[in-house]
Structure 1
């Protein structure tokens, strides 16, 4: 038994020694992160599922980056609790980039190529010098590479490009060339910026006056593939692009997937720079079924198509009885661009109001908000444990203010069955979310207090415009007095 244990320990030691990911402790950590070259450190827990999924990509990236002298390490936070606490780690995995001991959050993807690309950018200056000698190698050094070609005397273009690179160094690889031979090899007339990329047409050019705005628009339009698969790894790229996003939902195993995607490509090309197009694997039910539903694609019928305007929080699903082909999608997108399609807003039917709390639905949202009343709304999910716990308190709150319904509405909104209309100006990211809007105001205030009745009452009385302690009518007040008098009579 002892022999077996010894053998396993020896094997573990060999495996650890063969890894290009360094295991750090509180003693070895300070020296590791003090170097001039950037280093990447993962703070993890052995039981963490996301950490386990990251592990093979992290190991592979460490091996690739080793030749560039970029160090990769990890810290087991179940062992090095004090170290992880000192680094502000509150979730796993947490990845941080260190340069001369100073930490910054890692914002790349958790795939091998994403880690490699991100850390290579960190190791380089914001803008690398490009000459005829390294031109061919540099322009293929990453998925997207931006190279500015300028005359040596053109300080204006060089300054603008360098300032842009300082801001977006995490997003792209930047190079600058004043070498006549390199400029000739690029086939451009300076000043010019060329985007070299490993997809679509492979190259785009920006010529003429180079400004911060022209660089931003150029990069935004051409750095995203014409029609790529979207996943959690690249969703942020599309979300931050500021363009509407058109989705083709289709299983990756569908024999006609390539055919459907190819059919839509001309539509994507026609609207390039105005709408980004992607396809999404509808096979990954656990990962993407809810996203289809969030775009109001209710039936699991694939392929399906929808457009989402992330900035405006609007969605436009194509009728799922229609085919996802070139002509149908082209007509739908044309109508969308022309503003001829109304945003889809999911709503329950307005119920009979027989509860102490007003049941708010999406179809009535704008009308209720427009009323000259103070408004307190709980956005909830039926399955949410915290919402279930809050319900008796919320009902009591509604009962407390039942005699001032002309001045105050206490409401609840099932955010799983209703969309928050874009007019609200906010998104619901968790449950329960409690929002207040004072009468005569268009501003929503988030309630951040505890969920006790006293705290909610205190909040309303501090923020309500109307006098919510004065009953709606004399009759209501008299009714209350009659009940009191009746009570006294009964006691006699």
Structure 2
């Protein structure tokens, strides 16, 4: 009896702790509860996930933290286990994990925000507000500090706010917070511009930027967008997975300083030295610094050798090109300025990473490397079917024996080339008319043409052979066989990717 009583008391003591572990502000939804919980909500966020998904596991604590904060604001966060409710996930077009969707009274749109707690909170708060919020004297001080970047337009009856402001706000509400102040008692505005006025408040650099007064009367949303793009990121900030998306959205080249964090004094001195250079190129090139040790793989992907710091490289995201400063040059303000001047005037050619050209091609599959690109694709006498793969990609591994067999079928026909490129060891040349966005990517270039045809069929040998026969222009024999395949594509952040820090 005494032992039983002690156990009871121990369990009673543990109960509050167990309750805290189990309690969650994220709703767990099923087919029969989904509509009831989501469709009557002005705003809700739903995560479609799989328990085995590593990215889902990484998201979980941030999603929980965001849910706890957002429930106070009346915004529901929910999740659906797609391994248990496959039909529901299929209904909403879920093809990868995690997939997040914003629901407004049952109508879904894709969630395009960050996946850290503060980013989720910021994104959903923006979604909950009108595109442009009314700001008063009482709310002004709090509103301009409610996010990293906040825009406020000021006007009155005699000086109305241009309609282009609201037009731009409707297109950019996912990224920024917008307000309008038309109260008769105007608050203190930096530099006291004449009305109407637009001020961009920011939690970095000088703290605010004012839209040019001479351009506001005939304001166009495109000129406001350009102003925001120029002023909404810090002059020179540390880049990480949390803020990489904001730089990517801008579409400007990124100039990186890769530095060893253990040498912070030297890094900070270098940063201060190049701030005037960053200011000179503001709105044209974004400058950042990055932890060279933690993100060494990202440095290697930008064609840095990865053994000497600091290092400097420019990445043009739009063109998918990179321009590393030669490792033989010392990284300082002088060398960076000279390099940037040449980059701007187009004097520097992009760095193209290439594995060595094979000494011979004695296997059925042609081993393509970047330096051999023109030799293969420039031969208009040949039909070329090329696979772009990553060694860690599970779908590529399953395709490998089928691709080998396909190459063997055409081994006796010198005018049909079945090729393969390791896209982790080779860059796609800038002159190529396509970019590789997922693995495996399959492209066919018919003889006599410079056009590439996408292959989107299933990956059985029969289907691949049929595709070649339908599209090739050269003469010669063909073959056929049957084997299984799949038609999934593995995107760059797939679960089969190696474990490392990446942007």
If the length of structure 1 is used for normalisation, what is the TM-score? Answer: 0.84
Equivalent positions of 1:168-179 (< 5 A) are 168-179=172-183
Equivalent residue, structure 1, for 2:481: none
* Structure 1 position 349, deviation (Å): 3.0
Cα gap change, 1:12 to 1:132, in 2 (>3 Å): same
CA RMSD of aligned residues (A): 3.0
Cα gap change, 1:298 to 1:147, in 2 (>3 Å): same
Equivalent residue, structure 2, for 1:488: none
* Structure 1 position 328, deviation (Å): 1.7
Equivalent positions of 1:91-490 (< 5 A) are 91-152=96-157, 158-182=162-186, 185=189, 187-206=192-211, 207=213, 208=215, 209-256=218-265, 257-284=267-294, 288-351=295-358, 352-373=360-381, 374-382=383-391, 384=393, 386-387=395-396, 390-391=399-400, 393-402=402-411, 404-405=413-414, 407-469=415-477
* Structure 1 position 20, deviation (Å): 4.4
Is contact 1:191–1:210 with CA below 8 Å preserved after alignment?
A: no
Write the deviation string for residues 410-449 of structure 1: whole angstroms up to 9, x where unpaired: 3222323221101112222343322111233332112223
- CA–CA separation in structure 1 for the residues paired with 2:398 and 2:54: 30
- CA–CA separation in structure 2 for the residues paired with 1:230 and 1:5: 47
Write the deviation string for residues 182-234 of structure 1: whole angstroms up to 9, x where unpaired: 37645222333211110111111113231021011111111111122222222
Segment drifting more, 243-252 vs 374-383: 374-383
Is contact 1:356–1:395 with CA below 8 Å preserved after alignment?
A: yes
- CA–CA separation in structure 2 for the residues paired with 1:8 and 1:90: 41
Is contact 1:461–1:468 with CA below 8 Å preserved after alignment?
A: no
- CA–CA separation in structure 1 for the residues paired with 2:396 and 2:20: 51
Write the deviation string for residues 2-33 of structure 1: whole angstroms up to 9, x where unpaired: 7356765564335545x544555656543432
SS of equivalent to 2:162: helix
* Structure 1 position 122, deviation (Å): 1.1
Is contact 2:162–2:219 with CA below 8 Å preserved after alignment?
A: no
* Structure 1 position 144, deviation (Å): 0.5
Match of 2:19 among 13, 27, 30: 13
Write the deviation string for residues 81-133 of structure 1: whole angstroms up to 9, x where unpaired: 66556555555444333322323332221223212211211111011122333
Segment drifting more, 369-378 vs 165-174: 369-378
Segment drifting more, 81-90 vs 275-284: 81-90
Segment drifting more, 426-435 vs 275-284: 426-435
Is contact 2:101–2:110 with CA below 8 Å preserved after alignment?
A: yes
SS of equivalent to 1:181: coil
SS of equivalent to 1:423: coil
Unaligned regions of 5+ residues in structure 1, if any?
471-492
Is contact 1:149–1:183 with CA below 8 Å preserved after alignment?
A: no
SS of equivalent to 1:277: strand
Unaligned regions of 5+ residues in structure 2, if any?
479-503
If the length of structure 2 is used for normalisation, what is the TM-score? Answer: 0.82
- CA–CA separation in structure 1 for the residues paired with 2:433 and 2:78: 42
SS of equivalent to 1:218: helix
Cα gap change, 1:462 to 1:247, in 2 (>3 Å): same
* Structure 1 position 248, deviation (Å): 1.4
Is contact 2:159–2:195 with CA below 8 Å preserved after alignment?
A: no
